[in-house]
Amino acid sequence: MIEKGLFPVKPTPVQYLGKLPKGQEIFMKRDDLLGFSFGGNKARIGAAFLQDMEKKGKDFMVSYGSCGSNLNRTMALLCKSRNIPCLIIVSGQEAGGQTFNRQIAADTGARQVLCGKDGVAAAVEQVMEELKGQGYKPYYLYGDARGMGNEEAARSAYMGAYEEIRRWQQESGVRLTHIFHASGTGMTQGGLVAGKELAGGQEEIIGISVARDAERGISAVRRYAGEGAGAIRFETDYRCGGYGLYDRDIQEVIREMMNCHGIALDPTYTGKGYSGMVKWLARYGDGSERVLFIHTGGLPLYFDYLRGL
Amino acid sequence: MIEKGLFPVKPTPVQYLGKLPKGQEIFMKRDDLLGFSFGGNKARIGAAFLQDMEKKGKDFMVSYGSCGSNLNRTMALLCKSRNIPCLIIVSGQEAGGQTFNRQIAADTGARQVLCGKDGVAAAVEQVMEELKGQGYKPYYLYGDARGMGNEEAARSAYMGAYEEIRRWQQESGVRLTHIFHASGTGMTQGGLVAGKELAGGQEEIIGISVARDAERGISAVRRYAGEGAGAIRFETDYRCGGYGLYDRDIQEVIREMMNCHGIALDPTYTGKGYSGMVKWLARYGDGSERVLFIHTGGLPLYFDYLRGL
């Protein structure tokens, strides 16, 4: 069989990592191995946005993210690989400076528009008007300037991943009690929750917040999950002060994951999510849990982290 | 099925990349996706050395490589993940300085011994004597101080990969005419050649030299391939002046591979190998070739390259 298309490794493998001190069994779903642009949740989600864009007859992709954004890098590459013009709006560059994600995105030739954290909506509106004036039919992947409207497309990506997880449980005989991941925009968690609802799954899906407070985080997850979603589990106790900030525990998790399993985590997303999961399980678990952690990618951020040490 | 063990993705997928201007079809075997320590040929070969070490009743791993060495990084991580003590001998640090590979290796706690390019044998002898004096039974992965003796272990790794390629051809119906890869120590090419001999394969296996001249390169490949190997195809026209050196064509190949396929190559190995392959096929091919390029990993070198731009 010839593996064509964007993702040579799909469904992604689930790997047994071992037991925590209390006895919980930990598995990892290796979405970092999807095989396009270092994989990750934004590879799945980005591919869904591209499909949605084509369906809607648009011809110019507009993405948005921070200067370390995995989404911007992935969208720039997905578009470049298909000869679709792409523009990325970048916020927070005053803080983060140059990152590998931004460098890789720039190398695609995608135009970058800088803005402040409070100027995103204005930047989106201005860019969309400008592109329309040039005769394009631009697609802003979050929907309107306030970031609403394309929830269905985003949702479909991790509904698909949930379906992979469901099948893996059937095939392996492992019955998961919990699914953890680093939760940021809500797109990944929303899709997982929607997939679980559809399939009648019983796992607790727990997002470890990488930045947002409970109100904003839960509202975003609920929006992406769509109607019918039950209680949203969005844990905000492990944020270390905010987006991109981390502590020694997260550093230790990153070191241990590389040293024990040869797997790269980063301090902004996967390392923070994994560290939060371990603390949550120590605090609330009784040891009987069978837990899946989803590795949502972001490899360039691991090398940013190494560079900064 | 629970994926235990070191390599969650094995056999590695083969991906269709497209056609060259003359018409050759190009496929890539994604050994970069093996899933331990960024995958790569040294993950396969390192696992084979560990098995050999256990078989021989040794208890301390001694590795050697340049300061950008994928092998040293992989051995340090493989050993750390199994609680096997490891020491790495590092040459060429005066030229290359700090690299991500060396940084990751150092983070395992493996002791590093520095030496000059001409002092490797002496460093190996000294280290082995010292470790024996401490009561260890050390295993130098290349064999004796001159780097001979463990050819069989190294060979087995890419004999296994060749077998994966053979099966893929059976399943896909694609009959490959050529198998290309970046050829350095000769371990990868030797294993491929031995695997082909064993299976009676008909593909041309062509190593693009990343540094060595024909005499030294062919002699090493022949040694790793073992008895019965036919003619060795080791192309030395694409070395760009030597180990770690590269030109604009290689840079362009690296950019294009990321932009078209979201796949990272590096200038020292995979980018040089791919660039050499494309030139070789333009020069000697008639367009009818069906070609496999093996992505032999080395992802940290891609980020070293980005950092240096």
10-residue averages of pLDDT along chain A (309 residues) = 68 96 98 97 97 97 94 97 96 76 96 92 97 98 93 97 98 98 97 97 98 97 93 97 96 97 98 98 98 98 96
Instruction: Report residue B12's pLDDT band, with 50, 70 and 90 as the boundaries.
Output: very high
pTM of the model: 0.97
C-alpha distance from B293 to closest chain A C-alpha (Å): 14
Report, as an integer, the average pLDDT of B155-170: 98
Instruction: Report residue B98's pLDDT band, with 50, 70 and 90 as the boundaries.
Output: confident
For B39, nearest residue in chain A (alpha carbons): A262
**Residue B28 DSSP SS3:** strand
Q: Is A38 an interface residue toward B (CB < 8 Å)? A: yes
pLDDT in tens, B143-161: 998 899 999 999 999 999 9
Q: Which of A218, A221, A206 is nearest to A292 (CA)?
A: A206
pLDDT at A3: 47
CB A309 within 8 A of CB A109: no
Residue that is written with structure tokens 């496999």 in the block: B292
Q: Is B85 an interface residue toward A (CB < 8 Å)? A: no
Alpha helices in chain B (DSSP H): 41-55, 70-81, 93-96, 100-106, 120-133, 151-172, 187-199, 214-225, 248-261, 270-284, 299-308
Q: Is B261 an interface residue toward A (CB < 8 Å)? A: yes
Q: Are A107 and B36 an interchain contact pair (Cβ–Cβ within 8 Å)? A: no
pLDDT at B260: 95
Residue A146 structure tokens: 């306030």
The interface pTM score, or ipTM, of the predicted complex is: 0.96
C-alpha distance from A171 to closest chain B C-alpha (Å): 6
Indicate which of B265, B303, B304 best probes the interface with A, i.e. most A CBs within 10 Å of its own CB.
B303
**Residue A65 DSSP SS3:** strand
pLDDT in tens, B233-271: 999 999 999 999 999 999 999 999 999 999 999 999 999
Domains (ranges, CATH) in chain A?
Answer: 14-37+155-308 (3.40.50.1100), 42-140 (3.40.50.1100)
Q: Is A2 an interface residue toward B (CB < 8 Å)? A: yes
Q: Are B258 and A78 an interchain contact pair (Cβ–Cβ within 8 Å)? A: no
C-alpha distance from B140 to closest chain A C-alpha (Å): 21
Distance CA A265, CA A277 (A): 14
pLDDT at B142: 97
What residues of A are in contact with residue B6 (Cβ under 8 Å)? 262
Report, as an integer, the average pLDDT of B88-102: 82
B260 to A18, A83, A169, B14: CA distances (angstroms): 37, 9, 35, 16
Q: Is A167 an interface residue toward B (CB < 8 Å)? A: no
